[in-house]
């Protein structure tokens, strides 16, 4: 999922540089997929470390909060899905 998110981001960036007509769809898809993957991966990391993962003494709880905000800002993922639906290739 991490590598898929990276590839989708690179594809969207390339489309942005070229000014491709389907950039809106791919930009929304990359934002949605990468932020959902970040949240899932960070949540798994917290679970892996158990109680230590949850406490502020270790960095993964911060990583999970940082991942969470990426699903909310720059257009929430629900709104990004509406954008994708309206711009289906």
Ligand X SMILES: Cc1cc2nc3c(=O)[nH]c(=O)nc-3n(C[C@H](O)[C@H](O)[C@H](O)COP(=O)(O)OP(=O)(O)OC[C@H]3O[C@@H](n4cnc5c(N)ncnc54)[C@H](O)[C@@H]3O)c2cc1C
Catalytic positions, written as ranges: 74
- Dihedral of the CA atoms 39, 79, 33, 13 (nearest 10)? -120
In the complex, the smallest distance separating the C-beta of residue 29 from ligand X, rounded to whole angstroms, is 16
Q: Name the minimum Å distance from CB 3 to ligand X.
A: 26
Question: Does 2 contact ligand X by CB under 6 A?
Answer: no
Report how far residue 15's alpha carbon sits from residue 73's, in angstroms, rounded to the nearest whole number: 22
Q: How far is the CB of 82 from ligand X (least distance, A)?
A: 6
Per-residue interface string for the shown chain with ligand X, residues 59-78, x marking contact by CB under 6 A: ----------x--xxxxx-x
Q: How big, in percent rounded to 5, are the helix, strand and coil portions of the chain?
A: 80, 0, 20
CB atoms within 10 A of CB 58: 15
List residues near ligand X by CB under 6 A. 69, 72-76, 78-79
């Amino acid at each position: 999922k991490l590598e898929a998110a990276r590839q989708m981001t690179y594809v969207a960036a390339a489309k942005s540089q070229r000014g491709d007509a389907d950039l809106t769809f791919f930009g929304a898809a990359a934002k949605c997929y990468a932020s959902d993957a970040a949240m899932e991966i960070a949540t798994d990391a917290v679970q892996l470390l158990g109680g230590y993962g949850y406490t502020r003494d270790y960095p993964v709880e911060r990583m999970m909060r940082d991942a969470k905000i990426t699903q909310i800002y720059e257009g929430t993922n629900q709104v990004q899905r509406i954008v994708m639906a309206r711009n289906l290739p």
